[in-house]
Amino acid sequence: MSNFKRLLYLFLAFTLLLPSLLFTGCGKSPTKYTAYFYEYFDTVIQIIGYEDSEEEFNAVISDIEEELSYYHKLFDIYYKYNGVNNIALLNDKAAKGEIEVDPELTKFLLYCKDMHNKTDGRINIAMGSVLKIWHKYRENAIKEPDNANIPSKSELIDASTHTDISKLIIDSEKNTVFYEDEKLKLDVGAVAKGYTTELIYDKLKEKGKDDYLLNLGGNIKTLGDSGNKPWLAGIENPDKLSMESIIEYIELSDMALVTSGSYQRYYMYEGKRYCHIIDKNTLFPADNFFSVSVITENSADGDVLSTALFTMSIEEGKALLKEFGNAEAMWVNKDGTKVYSDNFSDYIKK
């Protein structure tokens, strides 16, 4: 897919999403402003904030864009950039010897390793060799739907022998990375957007900012309130044939909302939907739910949890939520029924 077609696709996808991601606020003296970015993390990014003037808002947006550009390059698995030792460079060269990286990348990779342990391997950034195969088949199917196909089990099993995250060697003192497996490839798609969202949130807090909403392609994090009320976000109905576009309205203050689902990034083969979320146990796309929405204090954890829960049973998912503390989830089954964790309803607009 060309960059232009990809951008057009993302823009159209976001336009369709607008009715289902609704943010409201009123009755506050500062003015509400909105900015969009289309060139980072292969998604549409929306920033909403209250400021006394457009100049103040634009200054904040300029700082945010600088952060977005930096982390986009740092976490990119497809392209290399001059002066940046990023994931793409590691995938190309880290099996040949230690690569020195930015301390921020060291922190990120250590976080990903920690999440691998906490989710019993459901989140494994070392699954790149398997995810690359599915990405190729999905892209081919989007370009030529009549020639859609799925990879063979043997092809996936062979790739899975190079997904051992213990082969990712990180020296946190020297800030170096080394791959002990020459075919190891990292893919950070399940973590990078949420992690970046949280970092930008932290920067806004450090600057003393309040009343902002960050939306990185559906990874939502709120700072403060909207018009002296909680921010209001609508969870999209994954059933595109339904007349009901929003299935729940969620009130958020200094909280994150992240949804993973099978209804946006997928392709069809022989009447079956194959989404982008791969189950580590089957090596095939997870097929238990339409979507899983997670509310957490930390957007990175929300990104991790929404993906992990999508590949687990509801019982397993509820047990995992308890290990993360203040985290709640809503599962949408394939028949459209909803299941809530114990306190998810506390966030639903009454």
Q: Is residue 297 part of a domain?
A: yes
Q: Is residue 147 part of a domain?
A: no
Q: What is the pLDDT of residue 27?
A: 44
Q: Is residue 132 part of a domain?
A: no
CATH of the domain at 309: 3.10.520.10
Q: What is the pLDDT of residue 226?
A: 87
Q: Is residue 134 part of a domain?
A: no
Q: What is the pLDDT of residue 262?
A: 87
Q: What is the pLDDT of residue 350?
A: 85
Q: What is the pLDDT of residue 10?
A: 39
Euclidean distance between CA atoms 190 and 204, whole angstroms: 24
Can you give the pLDDT of all 350 residues of the chain as single tens digits? Answer: 444 334 433 333 433 344 334 444 444 478 999 999 999 999 999 999 999 999 999 999 999 999 999 999 999 999 999 999 999 999 999 999 999 999 999 999 999 999 999 999 999 999 999 999 999 999 999 999 999 999 999 999 999 999 999 999 999 999 999 999 999 999 999 999 999 999 999 999 999 999 999 999 989 999 998 878 899 999 999 887 788 889 999 999 999 999 999 888 899 999 999 999 999 999 999 999 999 999 999 999 999 999 999 999 999 999 999 999 899 999 999 999 999 999 999 999 98
pTM assigned to the model: 0.89
Cβ atoms within 10 Å of 124's Cβ, excluding its own: 23
Q: Is residue 75 part of a domain?
A: no
Q: Is residue 341 part of a domain?
A: yes
Euclidean distance between CA atoms 185 and 126, whole angstroms: 6
Q: What is the pLDDT of residue 11?
A: 39
Residues whose CB is less than 8 angstroms from the CB of residue 159 and which lie 6 or more positions away in sequence, other chains included: 129, 130, 132, 133
Sheet bearing 31-37, strands edge to edge: 31-37, 45-51, 212-216, 219-223, 256-261, 289-296, 327-333, 338-340
Residues whose CB is less than 8 angstroms from the CB of residue 248 and which lie 6 or more positions away in sequence, other chains included: 234, 235, 293, 330, 338, 348
Give the residue numbers spanning the domain of 240. Answer: 3-50+213-347
Q: Is residue 251 part of a domain?
A: yes
Q: What is the pLDDT of residue 106?
A: 98
Q: Is residue 125 part of a domain?
A: no
Please count the structural domains in the chain: 1
